Structure 1
Amino acid sequence: MAIKRVYTIVLDSYGIGAQPDAAEFGDNDCNTLRSIVSSPLYDTPNMKKIGLFNIDDVDYKTSEAQPTGSFARLQERSRGKDTTTGHWEIAGIVSEHPLPTYPQGFPQSVINELEQAFNRKILCNKTYSGTQVIEDYGQEHMKTGSLIVYTSADSVLQIAAHEDIVPVEQLYEYCRMARKIMSGEHAVGRIIARPFVGTYPDFKRTARRHDFSLQPPAETMLDVLHKNNLATIGVGKISDIFAACGISKHIGITGNEDGMDKTIATLDDDFTGLCFVNLVDFDMQYGHRRDVDGYAQAATVFDKQLGEFMAKMNDDDILMITADHGCDPKAPGTDHTREYTPLLIWGKQIKAGVNLGTRNSFADIAATVIDIFDLDLATQGKSFLEKIM
């Protein structure tokens, strides 16, 4: 029986231990999964049964005696530990050079160019927490109309503005301007619109965030599938991450639970191709905020929904669960962590109990998806299809 649908679900930041080069990225003994399993709120029997705790060196919980799926540990080859490089590599692109980051803020020449384009002054220009920055600069923004521009450990330029001062569509236009300016040596992975509402000290970010991403520098599995008239459904941030390249259908979500509900709903749709899902709450709501129990509870809720998803899958469906980087909630600071990621593969046609070991690149996923549909993609990834079917 041929495989008709592939579901690839990215648990954003669900790392499983420091890579050998972690110190080069400012990380030491980081391990997101080990941190969250310490919480009494953590319970993921479905992932355990597939083989989560049978993966190489994931030995801090009891392994499954008879895992029902295939499993692996993936090493990132790209020179980064962020959303963009992680997802690009999952889709087939290994980024040999890191995207630019600005731990000391953006150069004054860049700020001058942005101010000239916006015809507004800029506040902040520092690495900042997204919730803290509106608390510290929100009042001044509302008095002056100046835009709050900040960054993080990721390759991002973020623009925050109150919806009463800058209408959301205008904020998006400023981001489009910034996307054109942030090119060449300053080509950050994402320009992010961060609208907020409320009054001080109760400012709150709204759900109308929008990412204006750098276009992938090469063809991805999405592009190849799309040009061969196969479905490419992006759930959550996927369309933003890939600048809508190769996406035939975008499904917006409000959070992890909504994302899984909508992914489960697609099982009723008749399509052939890929459904690519990002669940960002693990990272945004819990990893960066160093909330161990929140992260653990989110994993537990996901696993329950995963059980519903698996029960509804067709015989010609395949599920792959992975991550794009780590964000250890017990690590110092608030940044992502350079970690291996898990790969769990399940479906009626998948061999049970196959340990694929430690794979050399996230791009092995792309190579395998392309192999499933008997297509071609130039990638450093290696297909593992023969080993799991």
Structure 2
Amino acid sequence: MEVKRVFLIVLDSAGVGWAPDAERFGDVGSDTFGSCVRSGKLHVPNMERMGLYRIQGTSFEKSGISGTALAPAEKKATEMNEAEAGRFDGGADFGKEEKSAAVTGCFGKLREQSAGKDTTMGHWEIAGVISPKPMPTFPHGFPKELLDEFAARTGRGVICNEVGSGTEMIRRYGEEQMRTGKWIVYTSADSVFQIAAHEEVIPLEELYAGCRTARELLTGDYAVGRVIARPYVGKAPDFTRTVNRHDFSLEPPRDTMLDMLKSSGRDVIGVGKIYDIFAGRGLTKTFPNEGNEKNMDVAIRLLDEDFHGLCFVNLVDFDMIYGHRRNVEGYTEALNAFDRRLDEFLPKMQDSDVLMITADHGCDPGFTGTDHTREYVPILCCGKPVKNGVDLGIRGSYADIAATVCRMLGTEYCGDGESFLEQIR
């Protein structure tokens, strides 16, 4: 069956257990989905029916139903015969819980090959481009000469220049920022230059202009993956960050899935942070980030639109609001809330639609620290054009998604990945 539309939804940071190279990142034992499962409050019947709990080698794999786990992490998917795999039925009953439902999707997990664990590298790899070199980080803050130049170009001074949680930086420096009008500049373990400002002190457009200035300065040895605007509101000690965050990313070093689909005449629609992550490249239409719920509103509305191509959705709240703040209960409820939105999404899918659900890295809310975690990510697929119950095993790269999506949509592009289309159609 021909595929006309692919909806690719990234649950930002929803990893499924530490990767083989997690020790290099200090992340052995991290397990984002596992922490939520162990909370006892995770209720995701739609993803369960798509095969979530059958993913090999996870802490939450249900014994006796998923076969023998593959030994090497890089080993490709297990084979299934046509007779062993049914097809997605769709329909209004799909989103309703059943006591013992058969698997109505394809499932597996992906290992990241890029040399980092941040949003930019994760999404680029999903889109077909592996990043072999890490982006620069600044564990002791940014050099004085860089911040002096930034201050001179923007006409505002800089305070903070520390490494840590954004909420903590705003708590500690928010009042001083409001009093002086200076920028709060800080970073984290990721390759980021973050700028926080109170919306009533520095208007959003000036904050965004300051970020563009920083992006121009941050080249060469200073070429961080993202400059991030971090606006906040309120009064001390109850400052809160707003949804007006905006990321200013480096451009991908070469063509991605988005570029190739667009050049072949397909529609490429970005929802949420996708425009920011790819610096606007390869998109034919974009909808800004407004949080998980509103981003899903957009995705569900797009089911009613006539387009031919890819709808690429990022849901950042998992990472930004719950993962970095190590809030297991909040993360778990966010996953539950997303699964409830699938009750609306799945029955509206057309016969030629495919849904893919994945993640870009981990950010285990039950782990130590506040940083991202080096983990495998899930891949769940469903739709009438694909089989039911196919175990994709443990895939060698996130880039396998790009190779598969492009083949589905009739574009000859594999990037750095290998397509699994033949196994699922």
TM category (shorter chain) comes to over 0.9
Match of 1:320 among 356, 359, 366: 356
SS in 1 for 2:298: helix
Q: How does 1:337-356 map to 2 (within 5 A)?
A: 337-356=373-392
Letter in 2 for 1:19: A
SS in 1 for 2:355: strand
Displacement after TM superposition at 1:332 (Å): 0.4
- In the alignment, what sits opposite 2:52? 52
- In the alignment, what sits opposite 1:292? 328
SS in 2 for 1:72: strand
Displacement after TM superposition at 1:59 (Å): 4.9
SS in 2 for 1:270: coil
Aligned length: 389
CA distance in 1, matches of 2:44, 2:352: 25
Displacement after TM superposition at 1:6 (Å): 0.4
Match of 1:223 among 256, 259, 267: 259
Displacement after TM superposition at 1:61 (Å): 4.9
- In the alignment, what sits opposite 1:11? 11
- In the alignment, what sits opposite 2:244? 208
- In the alignment, what sits opposite 1:166? 202
Match of 2:303 among 261, 267, 292: 267
Alpha carbons 1:93, 1:220 under 8 Å: kept: yes
Letter in 2 for 1:198: G
SS in 1 for 2:269: strand
CA distance in 1, matches of 2:168, 2:59: 37
CA distance in 2, matches of 1:301, 1:90: 24
CA distance in 1, matches of 2:135, 2:405: 26
Letter in 1 for 2:49: K
Alpha carbons 2:107, 2:381 under 8 Å: kept: yes
Match of 1:135 among 171, 175, 186: 171
- In the alignment, what sits opposite 2:37? 37
Match of 1:119 among 150, 155, 160: 155
SS in 2 for 1:225: helix
Alpha carbons 2:6, 2:353 under 8 Å: kept: yes
- In the alignment, what sits opposite 1:199? 235
- Per-residue CA deviations over 1:302-331 (Å, capped at 9, x if unaligned) read 111113211110110001100000011111
Displacement after TM superposition at 1:210 (Å): 1.2
Alpha carbons 2:34, 2:59 under 8 Å: kept: no
- Per-residue CA deviations over 1:262-320 (Å, capped at 9, x if unaligned) read 21111000000000001111111111111111111111111111132111101100011
Displacement after TM superposition at 1:77 (Å): 0.2
SS in 1 for 2:197: strand
CA distance in 2, matches of 1:116, 1:373: 48
- In the alignment, what sits opposite 2:399? 363
Which stretch shifts more, 204-213 or 329-338? 204-213
SS in 2 for 1:67: coil
Alpha carbons 1:214, 1:243 under 8 Å: kept: yes
Q: What are the ranges of 5 or more consecutive residues in structure 2 without an aligned counterpart? A: 66-100
Displacement after TM superposition at 1:163 (Å): 2.2
Displacement after TM superposition at 1:378 (Å): 5.6
Alpha carbons 1:53, 1:59 under 8 Å: kept: no
- In the alignment, what sits opposite 1:383? 419
Q: Would you identify which runs of 4 or more consecutive aligned residues in structure 1 move more than 4 Å? A: none
Aligned: 1:77 with 2:113: yes
Displacement after TM superposition at 1:175 (Å): 0.7
Alpha carbons 2:272, 2:313 under 8 Å: kept: yes
- In the alignment, what sits opposite 1:148? 184
Letter in 2 for 1:230: R
CA distance in 2, matches of 1:14, 1:256: 13
Alpha carbons 1:219, 1:377 under 8 Å: kept: no
- In the alignment, what sits opposite 1:237? 273
Displacement after TM superposition at 1:146 (Å): 1.6
Displacement after TM superposition at 1:17 (Å): 0.7
SS in 2 for 1:277: strand
SS in 2 for 1:298: helix
Which stretch shifts more, 358-367 or 371-380? 371-380
- In the alignment, what sits opposite 1:96? 132
Displacement after TM superposition at 1:128 (Å): 2.2
Displacement after TM superposition at 1:168 (Å): 1.4
Displacement after TM superposition at 1:202 (Å): 2.7
Displacement after TM superposition at 1:193 (Å): 1.1
SS in 1 for 2:228: strand
SS in 2 for 1:35: helix
TM-score, normalised to structure 1, is 0.97
Which stretch shifts more, 303-312 or 338-347? 303-312
Aligned: 1:20 with 2:20: yes
Which stretch shifts more, 133-142 or 13-22? 133-142
CA distance in 1, matches of 2:342, 2:39: 20
- In the alignment, what sits opposite 1:2? 2
Which stretch shifts more, 248-257 or 17-26? 248-257
Alpha carbons 2:11, 2:314 under 8 Å: kept: yes
Q: CA RMSD in A?
A: 1.4
Q: What are the ranges of 5 or more consecutive residues in structure 1 without an aligned counterpart? A: none
Displacement after TM superposition at 1:156 (Å): 0.8
Letter in 1 for 2:25: F
Letter in 2 for 1:17: G
CA distance in 1, matches of 2:261, 2:418: 17
TM-score, normalised to structure 2, is 0.89
SS in 1 for 2:208: helix
Displacement after TM superposition at 1:98 (Å): 0.8
Match of 1:179 among 210, 215, 223: 215
CA distance in 2, matches of 1:307, 1:235: 20
Displacement after TM superposition at 1:229 (Å): 1.9
SS in 1 for 2:20: coil
